Structure 1
Amino acid sequence: MKKNSLVYKLILTFTLILAASTILVAGTLSFWFKQYYFNQKKSELDKQSLIIENAAISYLTLDKSSNLTTLNNVIDFVGSAVDADIFITDNMGYVYAVSNEKDEKYTYSHLGISKEQMDLLKKGQSISYSQKADDSGKGYVFMKPIFNGKYFSGTIVMTTSMDSINSEIFKVNEVIWITAVIAIIIGSIIVYSYGKRKLTMPLTKITTAARKLASGDVDSRLEIISNDEIGELAESFNIMAESLRQIDSNRRAFISNVSHELRSPITSIKGFISGILDGVIPKDKEGYYLKIVYDETDRLSRLINDLLDLSAMETGKIKLNMQELDISVLIRQCLAKFEGTIRKKGIHVNVTLENAHQYVMGDMDRITQVITNLLDNALKYGHENGEIRINTKSKGDKVFVSIYNDGPTLNQEQRVKIWDRFYKVDESRTNKISTGLGLPIVRLILTEHNEDIWVENYKDNGVEFTFTLSKI
Structure 2
Amino acid sequence: ISEGDQTLGKVWVMQSKQSITFGPETIWLVALILGGLILCGWFTIYLLSKKLSRPIRQVAYAAEQIRGGNYDVSLDLNTREREINELVNSFRDMATRLQQLEEWRTLSLAGVSHELKTPVTSIKGLVMAVRDDVVSPQEGKEFLDIALKESERMERMVADLLDYNAMVAGSVAVRKERTDLKLLVGEIIYQWKIAYEDKMPEVQLHVPPINFFTMGDALRIQQIIVNLLNNALHATAPEQKAVFDIYLSTEEQMLYVDVKDHGTGIAAEEQPKIFERFYRGELKKRRNRGLGLGLTYSRLLAQEQGGELTLVSSSPEGSMFRLSLPRWTATQEAMNTEKAYGAAVKV
* TMscore range, shorter length: 0.7 to 0.9
Give deviations 1:208-265, integer Å, cap 9, x for gaps: 2222222222233534434344444333333433343333233212211111111111
Partner AA of 1:92 in structure 2? L
Q: Does 1:424 align with 2:308?
A: no
CA contact (8 A) 1:221 1:241 kept: no
Q: Which residue of 1 aligns with 2:75?
A: 222
Q: What is the CA deviation profile of residues 27-85 of structure 1, one whole-angstrom value per residue up to 9, with x for unaligned ones?
A: xxxxxxxxxxxxxxxxxxxxxxxxxx9xx99xx69xxxxxxxxxxxxxxxxxxxxxxxx
Task: State the distance in 1 between where 2:316 and 2:98 align.
Answer: 39
Q: Could you tell me which amino acid in structure 1 is paired with residue 213 of structure 2?
A: Y
The alpha-carbon distance between structure 1 residues 398 and 130, as it changes in their structure 2 partners (threshold 3 A), is closer
Residue pair 2:119, 2:151 contacting (<8 A) in 1 also: yes
Residue 310 of structure 1 deviates from its aligned partner by 1.5
The answer to whether the 8 Å contact 1:402/1:467 transfers is yes
2:216 counterpart SS class: strand
Contact 1:329 1:357 in 2 (8 A): no
Report the alpha carbon displacement of residue 192 of structure 1 after superposing the two structures with TM: 0.9
- 1:252-401 counterparts in 2 under 5 A? 252-340=106-194, 342-355=196-209, 358-383=212-237, 384-401=240-257
Which of 400, 409, 434 pairs up with 2:265?
409
Cα deviation for residue 303 of structure 1 reads 0.8
CA deviations over 1:272-302 (Å, ceiling 9, x no partner): 1222222323322111111111111111111
Change in CA separation of 1:429 and 1:340 when aligned onto 2, cut-off 3 Å: farther
Partner SS, residue 441 of structure 1: helix
- Among 244, 265, 289, the alignment partner of 2:98 is 244
Name 2:323's counterpart in structure 1: 467
The counterpart of 2:306, out of the listed 450, 456, 463, is 450
Distance 1:459 1:438, change over 3 A: closer
Give the TM-score, by structure 2 length: 0.82
Alpha-carbon distance between aligned partners in 2 of 1:192 and 1:283, rounded to the nearest angstrom: 89
Mapped partners of 1:459, 1:222: distance in 2? 40
Give the whole-Å Cα distance in 2 for the aligned partners of 1:335 and 1:394. Answer: 20
Q: Is the 1:418–1:425 Cα contact (8 Å) retained in structure 2?
A: no
- Give CA deviations for 1:338-368 in whole Å, capped at 9, x if unaligned: 3356543343322223358632111122111
Pairing 1:92–2:11 present: no
- Find the residue that maps to 2:205 and give its secondary structure: strand
Residues in 2 aligned to 1:247 and 1:461: alpha-carbon distance in whole angstroms: 32
Match for residue 210 of structure 1? 63
| Structure 2 residue matching 1:372: 3-state secondary structure | helix
Identify if the C-alpha distance between structure 1 residues 222 and 459 changes in structure 2 by more than 3 Å, giving closer, same or farther.
Answer: closer
1:170 maps to 2:170:
no
Structure 2: stretches of 5+ with no match in the other structure: 329-347
| Residue 348 to residue 182, structure 1, CA distance change in 2 (3 Å) | same
Change over 3 Å in CA distance of 1:280–1:397 after alignment to 2: same
Which residue is 1:201 aligned to? 54
Please identify the structure whose Cα radius of gyration is greater.
Answer: 1
Moved more, 401-410 or 246-255: 246-255
How many Å separate the matches in 1 of 2:102 and 2:235? 31
Q: Which amino acid aligns with 2:317?
A: N
**Distance in 1 between residues matched to 2:130 and 2:229, nearest whole Å:** 37
Amino acid at match of 1:419: F
Corresponding residue number in structure 1 for 2:14: 129
Contact 2:306 2:326 in 1 (8 A): no
Match of 1:235 among 75, 89, 102: 89
Deviates more, 1:319-328 or 1:301-310: 319-328
SS at match of 2:178: strand
CA distance in 1, matches of 2:259, 2:312: 11
TM-score (norm 1): 0.62
Matches within 5 A, 1:100-179: 118=10, 127-130=12-15, 169-179=23-33
Q: 1:224 to 1:297 in 2, by over 3 A?
A: same
Higher relative contact order (CA 8 A, sep 6+): 2
- 1:304 is displaced (CA, Å) by 0.9
Structure 1 alignment gaps of length 5 or more? 1-52, 62-89, 94-117, 122-126, 132-139, 141-161
How many angstroms apart in 2 are the aligned matches of 1:221 and 1:355?
A: 61
Residues 363-372 or 347-356, more deviating: 347-356
Deviations 1:373-429, CA, capped at 9 Å, x for gaps: 011111221243241112212222222111111101333222222222231351465
2:78 is paired with a residue of what secondary structure? coil
| Alpha-carbon distance in 2 for matches of 1:205, 1:307 | 41
TM superposition shift of 1:318: 2.0
